[in-house]
Structure 1
Amino acid sequence: MSKIATLCSAAAVALLAPIAAQAETTYIHAGSVISDADGEPSGQATITVTDGRIVEVLPGFAQPPADATLVDLKDHTVLPGLIDTHTHLSGDPGGDYWREAVDPTEWNTLVAAKNARLTARAGFTTVRDLGSGGQVMQSLRRATAEGLVPGPRIVTAGNSIAIIGGHADVSGFTPQINEALATGFTCTGATECAAVVRKASKQGAEVIKITATGGVLSQQARGLEAHFTDAEMESIVTTANSLGLKVAAHAHGARGIEAASRAGVDSIEHCTFGDDAAIAEMKRNKTACVPTLMAYTGIRERLGQGVYTPQVEDKIRATLEVVGQAAARMHEGGVELVFGTDAGVFEHGRNAEEFRMLRELVGMSNREALASATTRAARLLDMESEIGRIAPGYSADLIAVRGNPLSDVTVLENVDWTMVRGRTIE
């Protein structure tokens, strides 16, 4: 090959070679920074973010280089993005259960994308979504990760796992329609339940969600106690753990809570009627409680308006009498409480109203409430080295508010600025 040909060939290779992307750097001037729920506000500081990760946090307002983006939050407190460990992004509130037979999966995907942005703008930069159909949340998880859709980081369970005819199994229609709408995620016996867990994992679940007891908003009128047998739940947990997955158990009734904790689930969702025996079992097994108190607010706001069927209203009235009582006893008894709201039962974007309820109904301090939605939630998700704090190497999941949430956690109901993975959410 001639020298000229060699040069031309080298030039062609250089043109075809991928061009290294220039690092994107953002300087954030914060009036104060709360790096950790256990710490105190820092005073004026500069947070440097490069390619979606926190690089450093320095005192004062550092001058950014010419090629960096500057975010001016000198009048704000900047703190870690909040984590809601119980959401349903693909649903909006209401008792119209018949929509399962009307709305296609594609519609639910659009609803979820809308709610993802609302959730992030409200300051929640990570959510654990515990129940959706098809591949809706798996697809949205990818879209938010790649920046195609504005929204939080998503940890999804996909479909919930239920007993046949239990909460999360389709009911309320004729047998033929119930069968046509069935998710394929019900099971009977330990062997079947293990197979369904494996199926969920195969379809992209990052956590396993089971409905360990009856539910308030499902159409059965059979109460809120235990559904799975001990052998079935033990099989679910063992199989999930073998696949590197944790298990979240929807549970209202005390014996269902106790049985799920004994089987080794990682969190009890709702915890509504937990008694002393259930609390003791949870403490023994280090099972977290996710109280979802805002769910009852959403339900209460629609009660008596013809939104819910009579059998559902009966269950609602039974639960409204005890909202927060079990969670308060669990808090006093040393069970770890983790922030989760059941958003979708109420309007997405109102998630932070849960903080007020944690303080007023459960007795948590401002600091404990903030920790429940940052460090504690990150630990439940096995992401404590990625989110929940502001520190070098962590994902740039940040929010800004006016005021100090350690003095009044309700200031988190008004978030002025959100960054997820280094991207500002508009």
Structure 2
Amino acid sequence: MRKLGLVAAATCALMSSAAIAKTTVIYAGHVITDVAQPAQGPSTVIVTDDRITSIAPGRVDAPADAEIVDLGDKTLLPGLIDLHVHLTGDPGGDYRSEAVEPDEWGVVVGEKNARITLRAGFTTVREAGSAQYTAFALRRGTAEGLIEGPRIVAAGPALAIIGGHGDVTGFREDIHAVLDQGYTCTGAVECAEKVRKASRAGADVIKITATGGVLSQQGRGLGAHFSNAEMESIAETAHSLGLKVMAHAHGARGIESAAAAGIDSIEHGTFADEAALKVMKAKGTYMVPTLMAFEGIRERLGKGIYTPTVEAKVRMTLNDVGKAMARAKALGVPIAFGTDAGVFEHGRNAHEFALLVEHGLTPREALASATTVAARLLSMENEIGRLAPGMSADMIAVSGDPLSDVTTLEKVDWVMTRGRIAG
């Protein structure tokens, strides 16, 4: 009798689960299921809870209890992926705010920016550096539907050398000690320890600053920071934990060393030369160009926003923006979409597509960089980046054909993430 009771209880639970499953039926005039394929004509996409269950040509009758979304003649396509954002910050902030604002303020700012980013069509983002737990809190909030925002793959604090880009700089030494988040490292053993610390804290990906940067108060150029042994230790330790490594890197030799060490993606890659790019090609290292970052920086030059140290570094880089990406394409280095949103206003992310095309990608290649290519870099190609039965219900709708005109992606009319309609 007890066994029968358990069977009955299990049956009731299954029936109850089936009874509360939500069905959404979406009608669209055009559907891009995979950017490698031509767009389909009028189609019906059916979503059950957070999964796509079918894609059929024409207009399929909807079940009686389904929610119906009629997009008319709009184009439905996979949700976009931005591999380099900073949700917890806005552009133009004074670096000294680190000593004033609590980490919790980053969650408040991040909630605002997560909503803006989602409504701009980005259903997955990789958070590329934040305070210890702010991005992790946002990640949980969007996953549980408590706040409106994209799926978040979060790094937490970046690993840096002492006094380098990513470390606290610009203050007195006693202030540095108070503000230090504990992720600088010297030597292969300590760097392995900090990777493990980041993993324990909840990082989905390890972020390192492999070279100097532009917007920090560290002013000693853009060359390599970590030693080869340190970067090899970081890559090997992260990979042993099932984590990938993303490396902020501008200077050619730092890019080359990071790629040779097994780092998975180079962020920015501003001064990558042929030698560095050949190593990236040989190792399968992705380039994430973040061209929009320099648009945002250019707009703020000469306005008293940046310190003289930063302005000098900015002016050193602007004439080279985009050139390395064109060389990367010619050599067959995979190019994935990332913007560095937070350096410019969140929500403008999609203008990166036009910049990618301006510097040599075709519209189809640019869209692939933010869908199938980005999904592969995240090792999530069976979850996001395409529309197919079983995939996460992450999709957007625009007017026009983004495969021929990427600027259509700058105005997104409708967004669904994990089966939830935004707005």
In the superposition, the TM-score normalised over structure 2's length comes to: 0.96
**Number of the residue aligned with 2:247:** 249
**Number of the residue aligned with 1:304:** 302
SS in 1 for 2:263: coil
1:103, distance to aligned residue in structure 2 (A)? 1.1
Question: Unpaired runs of 5+ in structure 2?
Answer: none
- Equivalent positions of 1:178-257 (< 5 A) are 178-257=176-255
SS in 1 for 2:341: coil
1:17, distance to aligned residue in structure 2 (A)? 7.8
1:95, distance to aligned residue in structure 2 (A)? 4.5
**Number of the residue aligned with 2:320:** 322
**1:198-239 deviation line (CA, Å, top 9, x unaligned):** 000000001100000001001011000100000000000000
- Equivalent positions of 1:67-78 (< 5 A) are 67-78=65-76
CA distance in 1, matches of 2:375, 2:366: 14
CA distance in 2, matches of 1:400, 1:425: 12
**Number of the residue aligned with 2:394:** 397
**Number of the residue aligned with 1:346:** 344
Closer, same or farther: CA 384–309 of 1 in aligned 2, 3 Å: same
SS in 2 for 1:75: coil
The question of 1:384 aligning with 2:381 is answered yes
**Number of the residue aligned with 2:130:** 132
**1:288-337 deviation line (CA, Å, top 9, x unaligned):** 10000000000000000000000100000011011100111111111110
**Number of the residue aligned with 1:408:** 405
Which of structure 1's runs of 4+ aligned residues deviate more than 3 A? 16-21
CA distance in 1, matches of 2:23, 2:254: 50
- Equivalent positions of 1:72-151 (< 5 A) are 72-151=70-149
Question: Unpaired runs of 5+ in structure 1?
Answer: 1-5
1:75, distance to aligned residue in structure 2 (A)? 2.1
Q: Alignment length, in residue pairs?
A: 415
- Equivalent positions of 1:329-368 (< 5 A) are 329-361=327-359, 363-368=360-365
**1:59-95 deviation line (CA, Å, top 9, x unaligned):** 1111211200000101200000000000100010014
CA distance in 1, matches of 2:158, 2:218: 17
**Number of the residue aligned with 1:50:** 48
**Number of the residue aligned with 1:26:** 24
Alpha-carbon contact 1:341-1:354 (below 8 Å) kept: yes
Percentage identity across paired residues of the two chains: 64
CA distance in 2, matches of 1:101, 1:273: 32
SS in 1 for 2:45: strand
CA distance in 2, matches of 1:409, 1:370: 8
The question of 1:313 aligning with 2:320 is answered no
**Number of the residue aligned with 1:292:** 290
**Which region of structure 1 is more displaced relative to structure 2, 103-112 or 18-27?**
18-27
Task: Kindly provide the amino acid, as one letter, of the partner of residue 22 in structure 2.
Answer: E
Closer, same or farther: CA 331–17 of 1 in aligned 2, 3 Å: closer
Alpha-carbon contact 1:86-1:127 (below 8 Å) kept: yes
Alpha-carbon contact 1:129-1:154 (below 8 Å) kept: yes
The question of 1:272 aligning with 2:270 is answered yes
The question of 1:371 aligning with 2:368 is answered yes
**1:373-392 deviation line (CA, Å, top 9, x unaligned):** 00000000000000000000
The question of 1:421 aligning with 2:415 is answered no
In the superposition, the TM-score normalised over structure 1's length comes to: 0.95
SS in 1 for 2:72: strand
CA distance in 1, matches of 2:352, 2:412: 14
CA distance in 1, matches of 2:203, 2:291: 25
Alpha-carbon contact 1:95-1:217 (below 8 Å) kept: no
Task: Kindly provide the amino acid, as one letter, of the partner of residue 50 in structure 1.
Answer: T
CA distance in 2, matches of 1:225, 1:91: 26
1:139, distance to aligned residue in structure 2 (A)? 1.1
SS in 1 for 2:71: strand
1:28, distance to aligned residue in structure 2 (A)? 0.2
Task: Kindly provide the amino acid, as one letter, of the partner of residue 101 in structure 1.
Answer: A
Alpha-carbon contact 1:95-1:309 (below 8 Å) kept: no
**Number of the residue aligned with 1:3:** none
Alpha-carbon contact 1:89-1:112 (below 8 Å) kept: yes
